[in-house]
Amino acid sequence: MKLTVSRLLAAAALTLAPVALATPAEAGPARAIVSSWTGVWRNTNNTVHIKAAPCGANMCATVIWADDKTKASVAARDHNIIGMQLLRDFRESGPSEWKGTVYVPDRDMTISGTITMLDRNTLKAEGCFLGMFCQTRHWQRIS
């Protein structure tokens, strides 16, 4: 009897261990971000690909590919777009929403931005200058 109870307790512990390890309280906010928009994304025109990943406790996205026209446009400002961090220090601000800053290479400026995850494979990025002049871009997940 004692051996059977011990085996049952051990089996219960092994069954519940993965659930306990995956609790959001222990994972913290960075884990929720990582599971949602970490990955490689392309813009609607397929002219830029970015890789989104944690940067500290926040999320950032860096250009990993650009078409020749985009490379030339940014190079005219003496910058290389490959390796450029476009989405910076995004913090979760609500369900499926993050706020941070967006670097706009063709204007050489940084503006406030919001990322909204529309579904698992679609991001909506909105950037605003002076809170009035806003642009929206959509990104599709590649991987």
From first to last of its 143 residues, what are the pLDDT tens digits of the chain? 443 333 333 333 333 333 333 333 334 444 444 457 999 999 999 999 999 999 999 999 999 999 999 999 999 988 999 999 999 999 999 999 999 999 988 888 999 999 999 999 999 999 988 877 888 999 999 99
Residue 95's contacts (CB-CB under 8 Å, 6 or more residues apart) are none
pLDDT of the residue at 23: 33
Tell me the backbone φ, ψ of residue 131, rounded to 5 degrees: 70, 0
Residue 130, pLDDT score: 82
CB atoms near residue 133 (< 10 Å): 9
The reported pLDDT for the residue numbered 54 is 95
